Amino acid sequence: MKGTLVIRNLVLRLRLGALASEKPVTREVPVDLTWRGTVEGGISVDYSAVCGILESLAGSDFDYVEDLALEIHRRLSGEFPSGSWEVTVTKPWPPTDLKIRSVSFTVEDGDGH
């Protein structure tokens, strides 16, 4: 049987941005996660363990949302290799000439596994 676990708006507190003005402060960065895989009964992916894995990123420094999304995907795929992951990282209020509420980047397994 197939199953899906969705975690929405998990908030990491870290530095995210390539500009020097973004480096001194940490920001709250929302992350959405989706795991898809085979369910055989019981816990397929322990979301508490997922939170523990990502908690270790607190205070880290990433230049781009892509880098952060790839790092999260790498960590989760290594810990829970039996399914596929989709990771979306959102950067609120990026510094641009136009007012933008947020930008986001999604990375996922290419073959569905």
CA distance linking residue 22 with residue 92, whole number of Å: 12
Q: What is the pLDDT of residues 10-61, one digit of tens each?
A: 999 999 999 998 888 899 999 999 999 988 877 788 999 999 999 999 999 9
Give the span between the Cα atoms of 64 and 95, in whole angstroms. 13
- Stretch 95-109: mean pLDDT, rounded? 93
What's the mean pLDDT when you consider all of the chain? 92
pTM: 0.90
Rounded Cα gap, residues 9 and 33, in angstroms: 9
Residue 71 pairs in a beta bridge with none
Banded pLDDT at 73 (limits 50, 70, 90):
very high
In the chain the domains, ranked by start, together with CATH numbers, are 2-108 (3.30.1130.10)
Give the distance from CA 72 to its chain's centroid. 5
Give me the pLDDT at residue 43, please: 76
The answer to whether 60 and 16 have CB atoms below 8 angstroms apart is no
